[in-house]
Amino acid sequence: MGALTRFLTSAKTSWIILVITALAATALFALAGSEESETAPSVGLPSSAESVKVDQLLEEFPSADATSALLVFASEDGVLDEKTLSLIDQKAFGDLAALALHGAVPPAQVSDDGTVALVVVPLEPEPDVAEQTARAQEIRDIAAADLEGVRVYLTGAEGFEVDIAAVFDGADFTLLLTTVIVVAVLLLITYRSPWLWIVPLVVIGLADALAGIVARQVASAVGIQLDASITGILSVLVSFGPGRCRRCDRGCD
């Protein structure tokens, strides 16, 4: 063990070890790529779990493979006139129908007081958040085009999912950036060096990223899906594990 430690830390071989480690990490990043973890309630559960059974039952219903966007047209200055309602129906039977599931959209439903119209657009579920956001924006643009004095709102399952995704858009980066800044300040105070603080920060960041890649590849190889909670706990273990091992190396209970 002492010979291995001397080999890894000696002035002649330490740079070789550093270069080999950097090349291995780069190769792992390049070959593994990046995958997003699943967040569905049934992910990672056995087939006997109730959540998995519910998902299997839902797939048997005709509406299981469809979602919908609800377009609300509200008049800004009173009742929706016949010309406006006719234009809304043209949108429903034209450009909106081209985006709809099976190419059909029912006519607009008008409220009793005539100030609001509702159009239901059936859609294929879109698992990709970016694609779903782009589709929702296209629906908004089509619905609002050439309508004066009318406010257009997108709601329903499509609007709700897009809005929820927008709420958390960039949240991970903001949280990561804040954490890095706080840790960097603490390391600056601890090491009192303009450069030394970078070393542990880079090592932990690299170890966290590599651990995530390895975990996803291993899980994929054995047929297991990782959800966000597992990858989050993994980051905590990677961050605090080395410090705990060092304490135990010096002696702990």
User: pLDDT tens for residues 107-121?
Assistant: 999 999 999 999 999
- Can you give the pLDDT at residue 39? 47
- Can you give the pLDDT at residue 32? 60
Give, for all 253 residues of the chain, the pLDDT tens digit: 567 777 777 777 778 877 887 787 777 777 665 555 454 555 556 677 777 777 777 666 655 567 899 999 999 888 899 999 999 999 999 999 999 988 889 999 999 999 999 999 999 988 787 898 999 999 999 999 988 889 999 999 899 888 887 876 666 677 778 878 888 888 888 888 888 888 888 888 788 788 888 888 888 788 776 666 676 677 777 766 655 555 455 555 5
Measure the CA–CA gap between 97 and 93, rounded to whole angstroms. Answer: 5
Q: Phi first, then psi: what are they for 214, rounded to 5°?
A: -65, -45
Paired tokens of 57 = 């039952």
- Can you give the pLDDT at residue 152? 94
- pLDDT tens for 115-164 read 999 999 999 988 787 898 999 999 999 999 988 889 999 999 899 888 88
- Can you give the pLDDT at residue 134? 92
Instruction: Say if residues 205 and 18 touch (Cβ distance below 8 Å).
Output: no
- Can you give the pLDDT at residue 225? 67
- Can you give the pLDDT at residue 171? 66
- Can you give the pLDDT at residue 119? 94
Measure the CA–CA gap between 37 and 231, rounded to whole angstroms. Answer: 8
Q: Where do the structural domains in the chain lie, given as residue ranges?
A: 62-167, 170-253
Paired tokens of 7 = 């080999």
DSSP 8-class letter at 101: G
Domain boundaries 62-167, corresponding CATH code: 3.30.70
Whether the full predicted model's pTM is greater than 0.75, yes or no, is: no
**What sections of the chain are H helices per DSSP?**
2-9, 14-32, 50-58, 82-93, 95-99, 129-144, 156-167, 171-191, 198-221, 228-250
